[in-house]
Amino acid sequence: MAEIKNPNQQGGGGGGQDSRTMLIFTAVFLLMFFGLQYLKPKKEQVPPPAAHPAAATTSTTTPAQAPEPVAAAPSAAPVNTVAASAETTTVVENELYRITFTNQGGQVKSWILKKYKDDDGKPLDLVNQATAAKFGYPLSLFTYDQGLRNRLASALYVSSASGNIAAPGSLSFDYSSGSLEVHKAFRFDSSYVIRAEVSVRQNGAPITALIAWPSGFGDQSTLPQYAGGTIDTSQNGKEDQIAYKKVVGGETLRGPFDWAGVSDLYFSAMFLPDDPTNSVLVSLHNTIAVPRNLKNPNPNQTDQASVLGAAMGDANGPASLRIFVGPKSLDVLGSVHAVTGPSLEKVVSFGWWGIIAKPLFVILRFIYDHIVPNWGWAIILLTVVLNLAMLPTRFQMMKSSLKMQRIQPQMEAIKARYAKYKATDPRKQDMQREILELQKREGVNMFGGCLPMLIQWPLLFGFYRMLGNVIELRQAHWLWLPDLSAPDPWHILPISVVISMFLTQYFTPSPGMDPAQQKMMAFTMPAVFGFMMWNYGSGLSLYWACSNFIGVGTQWVVNRTEMGREMRELAAKRAAKRTGGKVINARR
């Protein structure tokens, strides 16, 4: 909102009291804007045991890792060999996805979401082919014995079907050789959720084998996209997100879990165990070199990106669970519930501002669904509605500022009488008491110009969190913008933010602000906020620029009212007094 950056209508005692207040609020604003996304409480996790590296064997157990039983008896009779002679594929399809399974490892080679496109306009494949080839494919099996893990991933299973399967349907994979028996079964319906059952036995004894989504997502190709990865959990109804910097690769987290898995900014793979109490989750964290310029990759110009994954199963061996793989859409996630716990809706995290961000999205989506079917125009219309709703606070702030300016000469006279006393002198309290009595008598609230801003700032933060997390804005077009979730490629909107903030400062009467502070407010602050918008999603810049221009128009109208003229006259008189007769800020 325009007032957020420009609450300099209120007169300040002693030459700039209110400008200092504004500077304090601005500093707090910047700290909150840049810092809140990093100030999430850390999850108390089980310390990673020494036995967790990939080379750990099945006979190693610690309190921190899921128990993996030792083979029951060396003399157990070998099982019959069940294995395929060649690799085959099976495609499972419904209206939402097309999944390509391979019998090599009984895992997924491609997971196409039909309703979403990649950056090239092709159907989005959620399997990241580059990372999966290095770290494992979806629905592969994770064990603490890396040798066994590699064997499970490379074995040729016998598939129950080949070719194409239309959901609802089922698909299973079986493999046995020597003392090892593996069974993987999947069931599909018309939703994004599939059911999985996994059983691995060695020498007749069950082994803890977890089903995995190990290698991020197919929409990740740049460093910021990889950095959006998180490990998401819900335990006893308490949700948590672990950012990539805090994810320990190979760490075992013990249940009970309502649900848990891995997400990036817009898509998610969540496990919902049938037995939450005995469920275990292993967090996976690898790195891959990402070219800085994807269009013209240079092997000497790369950055190391974090690739997150997760694996879930049962501490007792055989696992039965559901797996959600799909978009982080509130409607979709809200329809998927844990066995006895919450839905997946909290996978979309609005942070501390969810109480504001979620209602904002509900209103924005209503505008999109029922008024204008374009997310850019919907943002503009919502901005207009919010500014109209905030007009009373704008006028309240101006009235408070005007009252403060009217009594400013009397306040300065009181201060002059006590100027000879030191700040530690008890008589200074008498000065404060007189000023407060004067303000009370004249109906002046010294915080009247600031409190309205405190209403608008959460609104801005809520908008920021909302626009940066909803998948609906991904690849949403508006005029020259190809994607409202990405920065403006022509930087028109960030420049508009700078211009609109400058105009707001120009048209807003400044009550004798110190010239240095005035210059900072008029030029430095617009530059700072414009720079902030340079690399943020253009949807936020659209909201901010539109809000500022509405504020400029409102201020231009107010300046022509009796209240506006009086404010300008008082501001001009104070400015002239401070500069020895030279008016520095009498604006039209």
Same-domain check for residues 489 and 383:
yes
Same-domain check for residues 343 and 372:
no
Residue 125: other Cβ atoms inside 10 A: 19
Determine the average pLDDT of the residues in 242-256: 92
Same-domain check for residues 293 and 228:
yes
Residue 505: per-residue pLDDT: 74
Residue 212: per-residue pLDDT: 97
Q: Whole domain around residue 537: which residue ranges?
A: 2-38+358-407+442-578
Cis status, amide bond into 168, omega within 30 of 0: yes
Domain count, the chain: 2
58-72, 184-198, 325-339: which has the minimum mean pLDDT?
A: 58-72
- SS3 at position 123: strand
Q: Please report the DSSP string for 53-106 in residue order.
A: STT--TT---TTS---PPPS-TTPPPPPPB--SS--EEEEE-SSEEEEEETBTT
**pLDDT tens track for 411-451:** 778 888 888 888 788 888 888 888 888 877 877 766 655 65
- Could you identify the residue written with the tokens 């408070």? 400
Same-domain check for residues 332 and 403:
no
Cα angle, residue 233 at apex, residues 230 and 236 outer, rounded to 5°:
160
Same-domain check for residues 460 and 567:
yes
Same-domain check for residues 465 and 574:
yes
Residue 434: per-residue pLDDT: 83
Same-domain check for residues 402 and 300:
no
Q: Residue 156: is its pLDDT beyond 70?
A: yes
**pLDDT tens track for 352-385:** 778 888 899 999 999 999 999 999 999 999 999 9
The radius of gyration of the chain from alpha carbons, rounded to an integer in Å, stands at 31
Residue 514: per-residue pLDDT: 53
Determine the average pLDDT of the residues in 461-490: 88
End of a domain among 302, 330, 349?
349
Same-domain check for residues 280 and 180:
yes
What is the pLDDT confidence band of residue 30, given thresholds at 50, 70 and 90? low
Determine the average pLDDT of the residues in 96-123: 95
Residue 33: per-residue pLDDT: 53
- Could you identify the residue written with the tokens 């050789």? 177
What is the pLDDT confidence band of residue 521, given thresholds at 50, 70 and 90? low
6-20, 449-463, 472-486: which has the minimum mean pLDDT?
A: 6-20
Domain assignment present for 321: yes
CA dist., res. 152 & res. 69, Å (int):
17
Is the pLDDT higher at 524 or at 433?
433
Same-domain check for residues 264 and 379:
no
**pLDDT tens track for 295-343:** 888 888 889 999 999 999 998 889 999 999 999 999 999 999 999 889 9
- SS3 at position 388: helix
Same-domain check for residues 344 and 362:
no
Cα angle, residue 488 at apex, residues 371 and 492 outer, rounded to 5°:
95
Domain assignment present for 586: no
With residue 581 as reference, give the H or E element that holds it: none
Residue 519: per-residue pLDDT: 63
Same-domain check for residues 168 and 236:
yes
Q: Residue 11: is its pLDDT beyond 50?
A: no
Q: Residue 57: is its pLDDT beyond 60?
A: no
Domain assignment present for 100: yes
Q: Say which CATH number the domain at 161 has.
A: 2.70.98.90
Determine the average pLDDT of the residues in 251-279: 94
Domain assignment present for 75: no
Tokens of 56: 């750990």
Determine the average pLDDT of the residues in 394-423: 77
19-33, 257-271, 301-315, 398-412: which has the minimum mean pLDDT?
A: 19-33
Domain assignment present for 428: no
Q: Kindly report the average pLDDT of the chain as a whole number.
A: 81
Determine the average pLDDT of the residues in 268-277: 96
Strand partners, 303: 290
Same-domain check for residues 300 and 380:
no
